[in-house]
A and B are shown apart, each in its own frame.
Chain A
């Protein structure tokens, strides 16, 4: 049987003036409809570029090798034209910063209905009614009145709801969400996470949720993939990871999380051996995490 998504031995690297930087080093991962996978890792672990590669969004000088099969179709090496058929229709994506995803000079409604006129060839009035029902679906109240509003008239949480609406509007089989709540307040974050969960259970789509926060991963996922230095160091059922983390890095992530401690004294900073310095480009050139001794 064809898996919905099958990634095998994926490698992504960037050729920079300082030499080759490996961002993803041999990742294999697969998922089916209804799966909710959280990809957890620190800055520089390669989680974001992994997500982007599934939509063919790794630009030069980035090089992608290996295989990403979506519904049996290979994505690596595909032309822009072919990829356009997959983006949105097959795989939708939500980014961290909702403001970057919306054009400030077009109304919310015109940006939403555009996906239906351009991609499905609907008439303007059909597209408008589709867009309004989509706005309602993501929890925008009085959607018909807000249709002509501009992004600056929406709060951060509402903008992110609109970005989610755009990502799911064409009913993709997979939704990739890259830190969609990191820029939001906790109460707003809770609402967005609930929305993504309910949309997923309504549509049965697969979800890939990229985050640095294990507590958020726990709320949203059924499976967790822990990334470190471009590799998957541990993966398993969400509850299993929390109850019995196997890899020392996963254990270190849990020990550093404030929600687990009773006093700040209980917090255990990530050991220096694990600290990657993404800003100086050293992040992924670190020695293999498996070499770190278990405490």
Chain B
């Protein structure tokens, strides 16, 4: 976006040299390198897709960004502050700005909580975000943003379809007014026929709220539709990264070409 001169502002999120290993003892790096020297930046309203196969390290990357796992080295600058070196209590406060939506809405929603309880739980942890008296109205508003009617607030997860559940998970992630959503395979547990509906909700929200997305996926046709830029991850590294069209039309890396060739396609006609 040259016209906005976005590159001269500091980005919303800037990740530098992020590294995470497993199997180390006593705080030392271990032999298994899951995230290997990852750097990228993200601006408001931007969608970065991280694509790769099982075991490529993409979910570990997401967890390390949020400090759900401790990084070995590197930095994660959110609005210029390094999240990795913040004291725990301060990190806790910052977490509201970086929220996550998980792959499986059957596992991520507590089966014995109503939708209203699920959406308002984040406000118990971050009480300052929405005043108690304003919460019922805010729940309705959040449901409306994900295209669900008000009366869903009294539903339990088992009364909803997969697509509806995932939209509740999105509403919950929005409850804290985040700036960044990390979407870890948000539609891959859903039928192709319901994916479209969830994707439309996500992309409309991104525009309306100027959200930044990290969209983790192995579904290349889908990534092409939603991402502004793409990073291809293999064995913990970004083997290729760039604007979506460039990566899809002129992949420079062998692994990217394999991924593209494997993807089932529906003809270019119609």
Residues of A within 8 A of B (CB): 42-43, 156, 185-190, 193, 212-216, 218-219, 242-243, 252-270, 274-280
Contact with A along B253-266 (1 / 0, CB 8 A): 00000110111111
Q: Which of A185, A187, A243, A269 contacts B196 (CB 8 A)?
A: A269
Complex CA–CA separation, A214 to B196 (angstroms): 14
B54 touches A185 (CB 8 A): yes
B80 touches A (CB below 8 Å): no
19 contacts between A and B (CB under 8 A): A187-B262, A190-B262, A218-B267, A242-B267, A242-B269, A252-B193, A253-B193, A256-B192, A258-B199, A259-B221, A259-B266, A269-B196, A269-B197, A270-B197, A276-B161, A277-B160, A279-B158, A279-B159, A280-B159
Are the C-beta atoms of B200 and A185 separated by less than 8 Å?
A: no
Measured CB to CB, the nearest residue on chain B to A186 is B262
Q: Is B121 an interface residue (CB 8 A)?
A: no
| CB-based contact B195/A156 at 8 Å | no
Alpha-carbon separation in the docked complex, A153 to B219 (Å) = 26
Say whether, besides A42-B193, A42-B194, A256-B192, A189 and B159 are in contact (CB < 8 Å): no
B202-242 contact mask (Cβ, 8 Å, vs A): 1 or 0: 01000000000000001111101110000000000000000
Which residues of B in the span 111-164 have a Cβ within 8 Å of any Cβ on A?
Answer: 158-163
CB pair A258–B197 under 8 Å, yes or no, is no
The A contact surface, by secondary structure, is helix
B53 and A187 form a contact (CB under 8 A): yes
Which of B163, B194, B259 touches A187 (beta carbons < 8 Å)? B259
Q: Tell me which of B163, B263, B269 contacts A186 (CB under 8 A).
A: B263
Closest-by-CB residue of A relative to B187 is: A258
Q: CA separation between A103 and B20, bound complex, in Å?
A: 34
Give chain B residues whose Cβ lies under 8 Å from the Cβ of A257: 192, 196, 221, 266
Q: Tell me which residues across on chain B come within 8 A of A256, comparing CB atoms.
A: 192-193, 195-197
Docked complex Cα distance between A254 and B267 (Å):
11
In contact, B199 and A259 (Cβ under 8 angstroms): no
Given that A42-B194, A279-B162 are known contacts, is A267 also in contact with B225, CB under 8 Å in the complex?
A: yes
Chain B interface residue count, CB cutoff 8 Å, equals 37
* Chain B interface residues (CB < 8 Å from chain A): 53-54, 158-163, 191-197, 199-200, 203, 218-222, 224-226, 258-259, 261-267, 269-270
B264 pairs with A219, CB closer than 8 A: yes
A243 with B161, Cβ < 8 A, contacts A258-B196, A258-B225, A267-B200 known = no
User: Given A269-B200, A279-B161, A258–B265 Cβ distance below 8 Å?
Assistant: no
| Alpha-carbon gap, A110 to B100, bound state (A) | 44
Given A43-B162, A187-B53, A279-B161: A267 in contact with B196 (beta carbons within 8 A): yes
A73 smallest CB distance to B (angstroms): 34
Q: What's the Cα separation between A193 and B262 when bound, in Å? A: 10
Measured between alpha carbons, how far is A156 from B55 in the docked complex, in Å?
A: 12
Q: Is the interface of B mostly helix, strand, loop or mixed?
A: helix
* Cβ contacts under 8 Å, B261 to chain A: 190
Shortest Cβ distance from A193 into B: residue: B264
A-B contact count (CB 8 A): 120
Given contacts A187-B262, A189-B262, A267-B200, contact A258 B162 (CB under 8 A): no
Inter-chain contacts of B192 with A (CB < 8 A): 212-214, 253, 256-258
Contacting residues, chain B, for A276 (C-beta < 8 A): 161
In the complex, are the beta carbons of B264 and A258 less than 8 A apart?
no
Question: Which A residues touch B158, using CB under 8 A?
Answer: 279-280
Task: Determine the distance from Cα of A218 to Cα of B222 in the docked complex, in whole angstroms.
Answer: 18
Distance between Cα atoms of A270 and B197 in the complex (Å): 7
A107 CB to nearest B CB, Å: 24
Find chain A residues with CB under 8 A from B221 CB. Answer: 215, 257-259
Contact A261 B225 (CB under 8 A): yes
Residues from chain B with Cβ under 8 Å of A190 in the complex: 261-264
State in angstroms the CA–CA spacing of A215 and B222 once bound together.
12
Which partner residue on chain A sits nearest B266 by CB separation? A259
How far apart sit A243 and B270, CA to CA, in the bound complex (Å)?
7
Residues of A within 8 A of B200 (CB): 264, 267, 269
Q: How far is the CB of A182 from chain B (nearest CB, A)?
A: 9
Residues of B within 8 A of A265 (CB): 203
Q: Cβ of A186 and Cβ of B218 under 8 Å apart?
A: yes
- Whether A242 touches B161, Cβ cut-off 8 Å, given contacts A258-B222, A258-B225, A264-B203, is no
Chain B residue contacts of A263, Cβ below 8 A: 225
- CA distance in complex: A262, B270 (Å): 12
**CB neighbours of B222 from chain A (8 A):** 258
In the assembled complex, which residues on chain B have CB atoms less than 8 Å from the CB atom of A219?
A: 264
Are the C-beta atoms of A185 and B218 separated by less than 8 Å? yes
Residue of B nearest to A283 (CB): B161
Are A260 and B270 in contact, with the CB atoms below 8 A?
Answer: yes
- If A243-B269, A263-B225, A275-B161 touch, whether A185 touches B193 (CB-CB below 8 Å) is no
In the assembled complex, which residues on chain B have CB atoms less than 8 Å from the CB atom of A261? 225
Instruction: List the A side residues contacting B219 at CB < 8 Å.
Output: 186, 258
Verify A212–B218 contact, CB threshold 8 A. Answer: no
Give bound CA distance, A190 to B263, whole Å.
Answer: 7
Query: Within the assembled complex, what's the spacing in Å between the Cα atoms of A280 and B267?
Result: 35
Cα distance A219–B264 in the bound complex, in angstroms: 7
